[in-house]
Structure 1
Amino acid sequence: MSCLLKLALKKEESEETQKEVEMALLTLSRMGYCFIERELYLKEIEDIMEYQQKHRNLTRLAYWSVWDFLIHRLLADNSLEEVIVNELHFGREAARELEELTRNVNWNRKKGEEMNKEEANEVLVIRRWIKTLKIYFFCCKLHNEEFIGLFCRIVQIYRAAKDNCRDISNLCMYPLRYAAKNRDVKVEDLLKGGAIDAILEEIQRQTLNEAIVNDCFQFLVNVSRKLKEKNKDEREEEERKALNRKVFEKMEEEGYEDVLTSFHEKFEFLKKKYFYDLSFNISDYFVYV
């Protein structure tokens, strides 16, 4: 650990040094879920990230590697949430990286036309970022307003990739599903970030695999449950009702009720074979005003 961090802390801009730094950070990201005392890495990781945010000296793959290493540590040490979200600004940085990566990919290529090497590398990093976001929303409760921008970027990638890079657009459903399940993520933030629109678009596609059907409905049932939680505070209750109305009208515009009804007969099959926590109760998927 100490040797890898020593390599990763190098600031020289030579090509050889950059390769050493990238390899050290990639190796750190391969450590997975194993528990590591925070005293062994946190100060150095913070130094690497803060320097990157000022000077942008790391490659995109290397910068993702630092975040992936840190997000995996959350599974054993949730006290890192404050550092990750409010000190190192994970929501802002992830959104910025995804925006830059997406900008460098031609998503509208003709059928059969292959990506060049640079684009393929960018898509590789996008795929890794999305998988890291899934882990984050699965295990971390804390979030702030910067995550609205992150939801916007996930939706942007979903829409850009859904015609020619179906595997990427499918991946985007995972972090959105877990974000909706996260108790502290507000429905209003999902709405502002375009996540609800993207889910409603997705379930109306003609070809959907079973896993994506599940992700869409898990997202919607969690949104519905949050909107049913009444508030004792009069002002907050009025805000909840107004938000219910917005989501209800959006679902009505998209013909959500007809879509849900068409899928309902398949719920038993999905529940038995794949997804044991999928609700049979059709009212759980609706928003009421």
Structure 2
Amino acid sequence: MEQKQKIKEMNEMMDKMDENESHCVLTNEEFKEIDKMIEEKKLSLENAILLLKQLGYLKTLKCMYSSFFEMFSLIERFERLIIEKEKKKEEKNEKIFVDICESYLLLGRWFSSELLSICIPCLLKVALKKEENEETQKEVEMALLALSCIEYWNEIEQGLFLNEIKIIIQYHQEHHNLTRLAYQSAWRFLMILYRNEESLERLIVNELNFVKEATRELEVLKSCVNWKGNNNEIEAMKKSSIIKRWMILIHLFCNYIDISKADGLEDLVGCIVDLCRISIENYKSLHIHCSSKFFSLICQKELSVDILMEKGVVDYVLEETLHPTINLDLIENCVPFLSLLPRRINEEYAEKHDEHKRELLQRKLSDKLEEEGFSDIMAIYIYF
């Protein structure tokens, strides 16, 4: 009981940590010490699982993708444990087995097909629960968060588990039974597992409406945070982390899907621009994360020039570049975007045979650059 109480107190303390403090907790030495305590029976396996599950939750929620876990005998210990318990189906405690699978996925990054073929069905069974009480919602959230940690599994049989994850997403769209973190995690699991399937575009764009769903979720999260900084610290940190996870997922989506076919793209772009703007003062980590993902997206993908101009993307890029505390990494994205934009105007409106619109947009861009003092700086990059 004393160990469980200490773990509970540690969990509460870790909930309040920012990213820098979290990195101090999730160290090589920490995991070595936990493994040593298990080996010497100073920490019971049940309590170790509870502790490691919370550490994994912290690492995953805060988008810390360093794979500490693979370096130590802890991973081998958990793999043996999962395989042994799976062989003893009649004897295994389902609750503890779920905890073991969740800890394993939350803290790792590279998984064998054998282990995933055991863990995924186990956690999907939990994730398919539809009761809306708080305890069940927490169980479902943790199961989906753990599944969202799977990044690579090349030997998956086509269509395997697809029906289950579709049911989870579609049921939530109708009944809103998942937490916001659980819903985001379900989408990530779907995209990672099926990113190489030809049917993914039709499923995500047409059937499940990813762009509209992502926009709606970000709009709700945006309205839940007091951007002046007067928030419940833990809740604000969690919402900020979920926004980051959506931005990563949107970036992933754009790498695999032809975004020009997505309905509602204009609203999503506008929402992201708003998030970038309102997070700049009191949520700098979130701001840099959103801006860097966004800049990378608009530099790499052929978003419509109309969207870029009408949704304030160009204005935001100029604002960002002129901001006195701009991150240098963002500058590296701002200049390429501004240099690519005239070429996009030329190409897009040449295809549309709209010379008048092309000239208007070029003039508008040129005036904007001159107004903001960029005309001399950009002269070496921009050719009309």
The TM-score with structure 2 as length reference comes to 0.62
Q: Secondary structure at the match of 1:39?
A: coil
Q: Which has the larger radius of gyration?
A: 2
C-alpha change, 1:138 and 1:252, in structure 2 (3 Å) is farther
The alpha-carbon deviation at position 24 of structure 1 amounts to 1.6
Answer whether contact 1:8 1:25 (CA < 8 A) is retained: yes
2:34 is aligned to none
Deviations 1:246-273 (A, max 9, x none): 4334333333324547xxxxxxxxxxxx
C-alpha change, 1:195 and 1:54, in structure 2 (3 Å) is same
Q: Note if 1:225 corresponds to 2:343.
A: yes
The alpha-carbon deviation at position 171 of structure 1 amounts to 1.4
Distance 1:49 1:14 in 2: 18
Distance 2:349 2:235 in 1: 51
Aligned length: 263
Answer whether contact 1:248 1:287 (CA < 8 A) is retained: no
Answer whether contact 1:26 1:62 (CA < 8 A) is retained: yes
Q: Note if 1:138 corresponds to 2:251.
A: no
2:137 is aligned to 18
Deviations 1:209-246 (A, max 9, x none): 32111121232233233223266656444444443344
Distance 2:194 2:314 in 1: 27
Distance 1:230 1:157 in 2: 27
2:123 is aligned to 4
C-alpha change, 1:242 and 1:89, in structure 2 (3 Å) is farther
The alpha-carbon deviation at position 159 of structure 1 amounts to 1.0
Q: Quick one: which amino acid aligns to residue 163 of structure 1?
A: E
Q: Secondary structure at the match of 1:203?
A: helix
Greater relative contact order: 1 or 2 (C-alpha under 8 angstroms, separation 6 or more)?
1
Which of 225, 231, 243 aligns to 1:105? It is: 225
Which of 113, 120, 126 aligns to 2:237? It is: 120
- For the aligned residue pairs, the C-alpha RMSD in angstroms reads 2.5
Which of 257, 261, 284 aligns to 1:166? It is: 284
Distance 2:302 2:193 in 1: 20
Structure 1: gaps spanning 5 or more residues: 262-281
Distance 1:226 1:142 in 2: 16
1:67 is aligned to 187
Distance 1:74 1:208 in 2: 37
The alpha-carbon deviation at position 30 of structure 1 amounts to 0.4
C-alpha change, 1:233 and 1:95, in structure 2 (3 Å) is closer
Q: Quick one: which amino acid aligns to residue 208 of structure 1?
A: I
Answer whether contact 2:342 2:383 (CA < 8 A) is retained: yes
The alpha-carbon deviation at position 74 of structure 1 amounts to 5.6
2:207 is aligned to 87
1:275 is aligned to none
Which of 143, 153, 173 aligns to 2:271? It is: 153
C-alpha change, 1:44 and 1:253, in structure 2 (3 Å) is farther
Q: Quick one: which amino acid aligns to residue 212 of structure 2?
A: R
C-alpha change, 1:102 and 1:232, in structure 2 (3 Å) is closer
| Aligned residues with identical type, % of pairs | 38
Q: Secondary structure at the match of 2:259?
A: coil
1:244 is aligned to 362
The alpha-carbon deviation at position 121 of structure 1 amounts to 1.4
Distance 2:308 2:350 in 1: 23
Answer whether contact 2:339 2:378 (CA < 8 A) is retained: no
C-alpha change, 1:182 and 1:21, in structure 2 (3 Å) is same
Q: Secondary structure at the match of 1:10?
A: coil
